[in-house]
Chains A and B, each alone.
Chain A
Amino acid sequence: MNAALAWKSLRPGPAVWVSMAAVGGALLAGTAMVALMGVSVRDAIGAFAEGAWGSPYALAASINRALVFMLVGLGFILAERANLTNVGGEGQIAVGGIAATALCLWSPVAALPFGLAFIVPMLGACLAGAFWGGIAGVLRVKAGTNEVIATLLLSFIAIWMVYGSVQSESLLRRPMTSAATLPESLEIPAVTQLPLLMGDASMPLHIGLPIGLVLAAAVAVVLGFTVLGLKLRAAGLNPRAARRAGMAIDRLTIGALCAAGALGGLAGACMLQGEQYTLKAGFSSGYGFDGLVVGLLARGSVPGVLAGSLLFGFLRSGGINMEMVAQVPTALVVVIQGLIIVTLGGAALAIQRMEKRNYV
């Protein structure tokens, strides 16, 4: 890639403009709906801003959400490069959460020195996620199963695995001391929780953030500048030709889905060890699907993933506060999200045509 071409790929193309228009339009539509509901638009926007970035705590909460979306989104574009659609982020988060909880609560792990107490559960979560993604990869290679369907089914299975694992004391449920004991795991020990960057809990950014950013850079480098990235692209564009050229397509396919799964599992570990500290049913809370959407909208670019995950992180946090303060259901954010996906999904072909015209 020479310098001129590199600059051209960085310059905002039609995709960026169309994306911004879609987001702006959806936000406008959301504002109009707030007005229709008879709530003061000023109050609603005020509550939204307060919840999204109004205090250090709110800002950190938004960024932590964005981190989860970013990890899942990175996994998505990585697999997408090999023409594989990983819609299993939700399940990969769930199995990552289960693995991280199990390891954090296992006393030998908590006794490990040098911060290994929180690193080992994170690695375990990555492995669990990689395994979960790998199942879809193996099915794709061995049985020709469509990975969309396999990862979607695996997501539902994993979601119910979380539910099952906190229902039974022999698995992860906390010991029942009374009939009121909630079906959730014990809180993980403090040493296994992710260290906070700011030292205190007024702005609970945790170590997952720098790790995530390093991984984002790594994904950008792998996709843009390495032989592996080129191989993935070749496998995605024309698997038969790539195989003729001597590439191990099967291994690339399984590997890409494993890597996507590992990133999803890490996202699960960040949610559990960085914020929630106990495993509950419904732990993954739809973040995997949000991350999937971020990945879809990024159209294969790492900066796109970063922008999209920040946008959705702020949207989610602001939406929750809007419901609490201004009595605007947080479902409004869901509608806005849906509008963005449908518009951008529908405009994909038009964007492609515009891009082609620009390059010729």
Chain B
Amino acid sequence: MIEPEMAAVFVGSSLRLAAPLLLAATGELVSERAGVLNMSVEGMMLTGAFAGAVGSWATGSPAAGLALGVLCVLPVAWLQAFLSITLRANQIVTGIGINILALGATTLGYRALFGSRSRAEIPGLDKWAPPGLADLPYLGEHVFRQTWLLYAAAVLVMGVAWAMRATSLGLAIHSAGTAPQAAANSGLPVNRIRYGAVLFAGFMSALAGCFLSIGDIHTFTEGMTGGAGYLAIAAVIFGNWKLGRTLLACVLFGAATALQFQLPALGVQVPSALLIMLPYVLALLAVGGLVGRQVAPAALTQPFGGR
């Protein structure tokens, strides 16, 4: 028998776990649509999580932390853009390099600022529930009362959906990743569009990282993203480079993670390894063509030589 309170807790924690994936995957989607496979989401999220935690801890204001998080990730995103667009380096190599660099640098920074074993409690972002919905039984407390960043994320994602579908900017981004030469011939600054897309992915990854450190658990631990960035990339693939399906994938992945904590409480014995693995297996099935035909942007990972 599943109690309504438990179901509400499950839905709420699925959403909370899906939110950082959602933010990062949306940024990644824009970047991949423009033709840049941004493998460094993981590193950008980690940098964002660290800088957000430091900012919030030093100033006592989580909003300042969020700002610092974004500010510190933008140079990282710029580095990724510079390497893969201007220097035309292998996007996968440089992405993995940046991830390793970010892991090392944040660990060093954390040790230098907090010492090796501190578990400093860091002021976190406020929780908020939409008026009216807050008073619903169960749902109000467990589902709708969330960090305001989650609601901001929903608005941002809707904004991206609109921009990608209905504006000339969205069309320009699509064409930069599908037919860069044709786009350049028609006068679009392909590489500048790509720079913008990668910086936007950095912005979204920074928010995602901050969501982890100052939105969800109010502390920073070394390597705390633990593959969430790669999961976001998997979500984009599973979503067949379409925003709606990508969001669905994020929620699915979030729910799979939430189940890990919920099933034991229900007395169901499922090996937790299987549930952690599930998102990657689903993504693999998706890229393997078992969930419909995957169509990646035609010029994905290909540097563009013109301007």
Contact = CB atoms under 8 A, between A and B. Distances in A.
Interface of A: 33, 37, 85, 87, 139, 142-146, 148-150, 152-154, 156-157, 160-161, 163-165, 167-168, 289, 292-293, 296, 329, 331-342, 345-350
B92 A156 contact: no
Interface stretch (B21-29, B194-202, B270-278): B270-278
A327 B107 CA distance: 14
B158 to A, nearest CB: 28
A163 B227 CA distance: 15
B230 A335 contact: no
B104 A331 contact: yes
Tell me the dominant secondary structure on chain A's binding face: helix
Contacts, number: 137
Contact of B273 (A164, A339, A347, A350): A164
Interface stretch (B128-136, B243-251, B283-291): B283-291
Tell me the dominant secondary structure on chain B's binding face: helix
Contacts of B88: 349
A340 B97 CA distance: 8
B179 interface: no
Chain B: number of interface residues, binned into ranges: 35 or more
Interface string B93-132: 1101111111111011001100010000000000000000
Contacts of A148: 92
Given A149-B237, A349-B87, A349-B88, A331 B103 contact: yes
B163 interface: no
Contacts of B111: 329, 331
Contacts of B93: 296, 341, 345, 348
Given A146-B287, A333-B104, A341-B94, 18 more contacts: A87-B96, A139-B287, A139-B288, A143-B288, A153-B287, A160-B277, A163-B276, A165-B273, A293-B96, A293-B100, A335-B108, A338-B101, A338-B104, A340-B97, A348-B93, A349-B87, A349-B89, A350-B87
B299 to A, nearest CB: 13
Contacts of B54: none
A345 B83 CA distance: 8
Contact of B296 (A33, A146, A167, A333): A146
B227 A156 contact: yes
Contacts of A289: 96, 100
Contacts of A338: 97-105
B280 interface: yes
B298 interface: no
The residue in B88, B99, B277, B296 that gathers the most chain A C-beta atoms within 10 A of its C-beta is: B277
Contacts of B83: 342, 345-346
Contacts of A349: 87-89
B68 interface: no
A164 B281 contact: no
A255 B130 CA distance: 57
A340 B104 CA distance: 13
A315 B289 CA distance: 41
Contacts of B105: 331, 335, 338
Given A149-B237, A346-B94, A349-B88, A160 B273 contact: yes
